Amino acid sequence: MPAAAVYNAAVHWLGRNSHAGGSSDYNEDGYPAKVRMRIEPAKPAPIIPPDSTSRCVDGKGFTEPSISREKKRGRLAARWGLALALISGGIAPAFAADLQLNIDNVPTVPSRMYVALYDSAESMKANKPLATRIVDVTGNQTVVVFPALATGTYAFVAFADENSNGELDTNFIGIPTERYGFSNNAMGLMGPPGFDAASVRVEHEPKTISIKLR
């Protein structure tokens, strides 16, 4: 495809994307509900004498100051960069790293380990984990991996289901009767610890933390 035709197609797409909502073709955020690209034939460029200080605009006789070749290249690169960003979602990928969780003091009887990952105090309080893992307990230590975590702050909760009923058993006053633990080995006062006490920071390097069940 000629470069001019490709350029016109990108400009046409960007022009449609710049309209505000109000048409059924666009959602409430102003983005097109369906991306449609129409390739139109390129208009022939006007012939400009080498020493000209102005140029014709759309063949209508209006003139504007000439633009240097470097500025034209910069504007073209910026438009193509914007088009590519919009097509790809416009969001730069965040750094990600694997986090390995080593869980100690696990039961010696056959059981399963439940692990929940929270990314905010609100999600932890509402018991709405970002991710969960369920693995069989084997040996003296259980290893759980959360791959490709985005850079951020997280808290982990783990418990061993020793009677295979899928929940953390408690006594009549709410104290757990099965082994459990939090990241940072955090402990609460008359209840579970808060997010801040159990939170760990994950950057773009692989990280390993340990939890000792009690």
Q: In the prediction, which pLDDT does 207 show?
A: 96
Domain boundaries, given as residue ranges, for the chain: 3-87, 96-212
**Averaged pLDDT in 10-residue chunks for the chain of 214 residues:** 44 42 47 43 52 47 54 56 42 74 95 97 95 94 96 97 93 92 93 95 95 96
Contact 101, 131 (CB under 8 A): no
Q: In the prediction, which pLDDT does 80 show?
A: 46
Strand segments, DSSP code E, in 88-130 are 96-104, 112-118
**Cβ neighbours of residue 1 under 8 Å, at least 6 residues apart?**
39
What is the rounded CA–CA span in Å between residue 213 and residue 161?
12
Contact 200, 183 (CB under 8 A): yes
- DSSP, collapsed to helix, strand or coil, labels residue 4 as helix
Residue carrying the six token digits 């022009």: 15
The token duo for 166 is 């899928």
Give me the CATH topology for the region 96-212.
Immunoglobulin-like (2.60.40)
Q: How crowded is residue 207: how many other Cβ atoms within 10 Å of its Cβ?
A: 17
Q: In the prediction, which pLDDT does 96 show?
A: 86
